[in-house]
Structure 1
Amino acid sequence: MDGTTEHNLLPYWLTAPGVLATLAFVALPLVLMLSLSLYPFLPSGGIGEQLTLANYAELARDDYFHTIFARTFGMALLVTLVCIAIGVPEAYVLSRLSPRWRTVSIVIVLGPMLISVVVRTLGWAVLLGNEGVINRLLMASGLVAEPVKMMFTFTGVVIALVHVLVPFMVLAVWASLQKLDTATEQAAESLGAGLFTVLRRIVFPQVIPGVLSGGLIVFSLAASAFATPAIIGGRRLKVVPTTIYDELLGNLNWPLGAALAVVLVGIVLAVSIGVNRLVERRYKQVFL
């Protein structure tokens, strides 16, 4: 083997460890989960030997699972929209700060990510409870006469997930803003455009790829989140990840739990592919 051939194979050798790790810890478990979902669950508590699509048929015809999937992806969509509304302006302000204050702000933005999601969620449980800090402040100020129910509600889960996931949106949009040519903003201002017009016509169109990428990350993480819905939502507010947990470890119905996991991964993957195509199309329109 000559030097040229070794040089051509070098990228493959360098990527081999990562590929093998991905196959072992990501692809193989997914294949095993898919195969498990194709076996029946026996009334005795065991797993049958014949392949079947009965688990997927049950998911397709049972309104209980329809409601859970609708709640899960509705929640993920709402969390994504709120994160966009908060993260895009925050990233824009962050990009306009001086280097010193930018460093401080980045530490503040990334600070929550340095704490365990369970610890952060338990903190929100303390804040959102009937005897929590928020309700005590509301009652002390006279805005409400009795505690506002926020624990074990859809709203409470959304609030906690937004706090957990908004840093991902800020980082994605901030990365896009680093590629923004400030000369275009200055040119628009010199022609009489106001701040709102500059943001709407100049800034936002160029950061759409970052918004879409951040939205994809937030949507995927929100749809697959387990700890936050389990703690804040409790047993009353079921989502797909908590239902998978109940089927696998509560009912010991491993095939149905595996089918739920496969459908969840499939929907998230379909959304990811669609958003990636939008991002690629946007990049071609802007840069080509």
Structure 2
Amino acid sequence: MSGARPSTTPWLLAAPGALLFIALVVVPLALTLILSFHVYDAATGVKDAYTLAHYAAILSDSYFLNIFWRTLRLAALTTLICAAIGAPEAYILARMREPWRSIFLLAIIGPLLVSVVVRAFGWSMLLGLTGLVNEAFRTLGLGTMKILYTETAIVIALVHVMLPFMVIPVWTSLQKLDPMVEAAAWTLGASRFTALRRVVMPQVTMGLLSGSLVVFGLSASAFAIPALLGGRRLKMAATLVYDEYMHELNWPLGAAIAILVLVINLVFMLAYQRVVEARAKRTLG
């Protein structure tokens, strides 16, 4: 490395990635933030003037606040269900032997190879009034249930889409755990449940944290599934932004909604991260 000092080498190596991040993330966010302050007129469109009226209208209107609450509530519920299902799946995956481990792993990540839109259409056919789920209900004598275009349908599809993002981080954390530690707890008189709760779970806390943050963030910003399975009346934040941009053509209001959703997500995710990390430090020392 004859042309550069050793102290500048890390900066030079990080420069391409940093420039790409700035071009694809920072600049679009900055432009969206600037757009959210522009004045909008229904007759002439976006004006070269600035105002805080869009943020004031959003924060004072129960219509927008209810959509924000629904988005956060469904994202949190999706994250909770994915953690309840994904952690046992990851534990089973970590204890499997080849070739069953590879088959099970392929079954978990296989749905990622299919478009989200295709999976959403598949769930719409399954959950419809004439779908397979309602056919099973009628066969069992439970009658027909309205599942499609409800919050239940959105959560079911989101769990199906987001589950791999929970299983993989937890499985990675379990790969770092020596199986003999759990066996040692058994030999010292701990039951399997106690060993799982006191030995295994504290070790995979950071994996659960990573998976929860990814699942929550992706669920709160999901568009295709709420749009196709929630219908026109059951809106979430991403579908609301789409409507303001494409139907109402009120780009500043749509940009303001997008910025507020981003800020709210960051606040919730950072708070959750601080709580989980503090608990992990107390548990693991």
Deviation for aligned residue 1:281: 4.0
Instruction: Give the letter aligned to residue 223 of structure 1.
Output: A
The answer for the alignment partner of 1:102 in structure 2 is 101
- Is the 2:109–2:164 contact (alpha carbons within 8 Å) kept by the matching residues of 1? yes
**Rounded Cα–Cα distance in structure 1 between residues aligned with 2:176 and 2:96:** 16
**Rounded Cα–Cα distance in structure 2 between residues aligned with 1:29 and 1:283:** 36
The answer for the alignment partner of 1:195 in structure 2 is 192
Deviation for aligned residue 1:73: 0.3
Q: Secondary structure at the match of 2:42?
A: coil
Root-mean-square deviation over aligned CA pairs: 1.7
**Rounded Cα–Cα distance in structure 2 between residues aligned with 1:77 and 1:281:** 20
Instruction: Give the letter aligned to residue 45 of structure 2.
Output: G
Taking structure 2 as the reference length, what is the TM-score of the superposition? 0.95
Q: Secondary structure at the match of 1:99?
A: coil
- 1:52-201 matches, within 5 Å, as 52-142=51-141, 144-145=142-143, 147-201=144-198
The answer for the alignment partner of 1:267 in structure 2 is 264
Moved beyond 6 Å, runs of 4+: none
Deviation for aligned residue 1:7: 2.9
- Is the 1:45–1:252 contact (alpha carbons within 8 Å) kept by the matching residues of 2? no
- Is the 1:117–1:227 contact (alpha carbons within 8 Å) kept by the matching residues of 2? yes
Instruction: Give the letter aligned to residue 233 of structure 1.
Output: G
**Rounded Cα–Cα distance in structure 2 between residues aligned with 1:67 and 1:279:** 28
Deviation for aligned residue 1:171: 0.4
Q: Secondary structure at the match of 1:49?
A: strand
In the alignment, is residue 249 of structure 1 matched against residue 277 of structure 2? no
Identity of aligned residues (%): 48
- Is the 1:135–1:148 contact (alpha carbons within 8 Å) kept by the matching residues of 2? yes
How many residues align structurally?
A: 285
Deviation for aligned residue 1:181: 2.4
- Is the 2:202–2:284 contact (alpha carbons within 8 Å) kept by the matching residues of 1? no
**Rounded Cα–Cα distance in structure 2 between residues aligned with 1:226 and 1:82:** 20
Deviation for aligned residue 1:4: 8.7
Deviation for aligned residue 1:284: 4.7
The runs of 5 or more residues in structure 1 that have no matched partner are: none
- Is the 1:247–1:256 contact (alpha carbons within 8 Å) kept by the matching residues of 2? yes
- Is the 1:94–1:102 contact (alpha carbons within 8 Å) kept by the matching residues of 2? yes
The runs of 5 or more residues in structure 2 that have no matched partner are: none
**Rounded Cα–Cα distance in structure 1 between residues aligned with 2:50 and 2:68:** 25
The answer for the alignment partner of 1:34 in structure 2 is 33
Instruction: Give the letter aligned to residue 240 of structure 2.
Output: T
Q: Secondary structure at the match of 2:40?
A: coil
Taking structure 1 as the reference length, what is the TM-score of the superposition? 0.94
Deviation for aligned residue 1:6: 3.1
Q: Secondary structure at the match of 2:5?
A: helix
Instruction: Give the letter aligned to residue 255 of structure 2.
Output: A
Deviation for aligned residue 1:101: 1.0
**Rounded Cα–Cα distance in structure 2 between residues aligned with 1:243 and 1:172:** 31
Deviation for aligned residue 1:188: 1.1
- Is the 2:205–2:280 contact (alpha carbons within 8 Å) kept by the matching residues of 1? no
Q: Secondary structure at the match of 1:252?
A: coil
Deviation for aligned residue 1:153: 0.2
